[in-house]
Amino acid sequence: MLTTLFVVIAAMIFALFILIKVLKFHRNIAVLFFCMPLLICISPTITFVGGLLASKIAPDPSLATLPLTILIIGIATSTFLVAGLSRKYGRKRATNLGYALALTGTLLAMYAAIIGHFYLLLIATFLLGGSLAFAQQMRFAAIESVNKEQAAKVISALMLSGIFAAMIGPEIAFLGKDWIDSPHGYAGSFLGLAIVVIISWLVFQLFSNPQISEDNVGEAEVRPLSVIIKQPIFIIALLSAAIGYGLMSFIMTATPLSMHQMNGHSLADTKWVIQSHIAAMFLPSLFTGILIKRFHSANVLLVGTLMFAVVSVIALNGQQVVHYWWALVLLGIGWNFLFITGTVLLPESYHSGERFKVQAINDFAIFVVQGFASLLAGWILFKSSWNVLMYSSMPFIGIMLIVCIWHYRNRRQNH
């Protein structure tokens, strides 16, 4: 475990060197590249141990995915607050509040694990969700720190940093689960998470607020949200990210419970599948931006959607570790293509003076969808089966295929 963490830290340092010395990115990008994965590793940690802990302390096992659902609700309900604070006080001061929420949430979750209190765990995960709403806005802070031509490359680099979250979160959770005595375990996992949050918070102080030009658009010319959200490019960008996130969350949330609790696979195998999935979510970021630029966003969206279809085929063909592993890896790659493409397309729908409200409504919609998906995942899994859960995902894959066709047609009309 310690060896793995040392390797991850060494890889992060090497990647930072490449960003600063070779690619010569703005200092903000290097800071966000380091800080963002240390903060968003909250999510894979809750995914990995939240359901396992909740299944032991919840009044009903079908509520085991509720902590992750509450985490996502915390993200969704905080998006407008984050946007408002960022607009009023700047990205840096607002994000510092997010770090305070993260530290409070991790310590509260640790205490909930020690006393075995399910509802206190839910309060903790809600606070952690609020902190992740600030973390999600870091990708927009990165876009604002560079010129438009670098946006896809910067988003890809920043999303690539998520691979470190994939390794750090579950490793810390697994390594620290017995650091503190607790009736059901995992209290030490949250202590380890708190330490990681503190390190990220300290490094984030090197971030400086980006200077934004307003595209020569005056305040009186800023369009109402009702006009902006009717644009085809906004709808395509939003649906790509929201459906991608929703399907990913729907399947990923159920996986640890299906593997470990229902099919008896080891905790180590379950950890490996989740880590592989989250690595697959972010590793393609090495080339996703290049693919979008060279082959156009419509083609990248189509490939991502087809990967989701292949996930369903694999998952329905068995429940051995190899089936879970391949399904979750392809699920991660498909999510990467849909989410990064949606993020790159979104700025095409707004002027700089409109960015905060559009970014807020975008993230709110994405995480409301993800929240419903994660909650339904646990309910469907425990009330029916893994196969029913997979069949339930197919209509949304069909919707995403329609979005791809719409994007192709919209592209032809505008060129």
Q: What is the pLDDT of residues 188-240, one digit of tens each?
A: 889 999 999 999 999 999 888 776 554 444 444 678 888 888 898 899 999 99
Q: Distance between CA 221 and CA 100 in Å, rounded?
A: 36
pLDDT in tens, 42-71: 888 887 788 778 878 888 877 777 888 888
Q: Is residue 238 part of a domain?
A: yes
CA distance linking residue 90 with residue 151, whole number of Å: 20
pLDDT of residue 15: 60
Q: How many C-alpha atoms does 305 have within 13 Å on its Cβ side?
A: 25
Q: Which residue has the higher pLDDT, 200 or 153?
A: 200
Please tell me which residue, 190 or 12, carries the higher pLDDT value.
190
**Range in 19-28, 316-325, 349-358 the model is least confident about:** 19-28
Instruction: Tell me the average pLDDT across 369-376.
Output: 82
Paired tokens of 380: 């469907």
Q: Hey, what are 22's tokens?
A: 């070779």
DSSP 8-state symbol, 50: I
Predicted local confidence at residue 356, as pLDDT: 79
**280/325 Cα distance (integer angstroms):** 11
pLDDT of residue 59: 82
Domain tally for the chain? 1
Weakest-pLDDT range from 16-20, 115-119, 342-346, 398-402: 16-20
pLDDT given for residue 26 in this prediction: 66
Q: Report the distance separating Cα 44 and Cα 56, nearest Å.
A: 19
80-95, pLDDT tens digit by residue? 888 888 888 888 899 9
Q: Please list the helix, strand and coil fractions of the chain in percent, rounded to the nearest 5, in that order.
A: 85, 0, 15
Q: What does pTM read for this prediction? A: 0.72
Residue 220 lies in a domain: no
3-class state of residue 209 by DSSP: coil
Tokens of 134: 């600030």
CA pair distance 259, 257, nearest whole angstrom: 6
- CB distance 270 to 170 below 8 Å: no
pLDDT attached to residue 11: 61
Give residue 22's pLDDT.
47
User: Is there a contact between 33 and 166 (Cβ–Cβ < 8 Å)?
Assistant: no
Q: Give CA separation, 409 vs 202, 243, 335, 402, 403, in Å.
A: 47, 20, 23, 11, 10
4 occurs within a structural domain: no
Question: What per-residue confidence (pLDDT) applies to 216?
Answer: 44
CATH number, position 332: 1.20.1250.20
The pLDDT tens digits for 233-253 are 899 999 999 999 899 989 988
Q: Which domain holds residue 87?
A: 19-208+225-413
Residue 111, pLDDT above cutoff 80? yes
Give pLDDT, residue 30.
Answer: 81
Q: Which residue has the higher pLDDT, 328 or 368?
A: 328
State the chain's mean pLDDT as an integer. 83
Higher pLDDT, 293 or 123: 123
pLDDT tens digit sequence for 292-341: 878 888 899 999 999 999 999 999 999 999 999 999 999 999 999 999 89
What band does 19 get if pLDDT is binned at 50, 70 and 90? low
Rounded Cα gap, residues 167 and 37, in angstroms: 10
- pLDDT attached to residue 220: 43
Confidence category of residue 10, pLDDT binned at 50, 70, 90: low
Look at residue 256 and tell me if it is in a domain: yes
159 belongs to a structural domain: yes
Share of the chain above pLDDT 70, in %: 88
The secondary structure of residue 1, as a DSSP letter, is -
Q: How far is CA 311 from CA 267, 315, 328, in A?
A: 22, 6, 7
Q: 318-322, long-range: CB within 8 Å, 24+ apart, which pairs? A: 319/258, 319/259, 319/263, 319/386, 321/259, 321/265, 321/269, 321/273
263 vs 411, higher pLDDT? 263
Question: Is residue 192 situated within a structural domain?
Answer: yes
Task: Give a yes or no: residue 95 inside a domain.
Answer: yes
The model's confidence at residue 31, banded by pLDDT at 50, 70 and 90, is: confident
Is 389 within the bounds of a domain?
Answer: yes
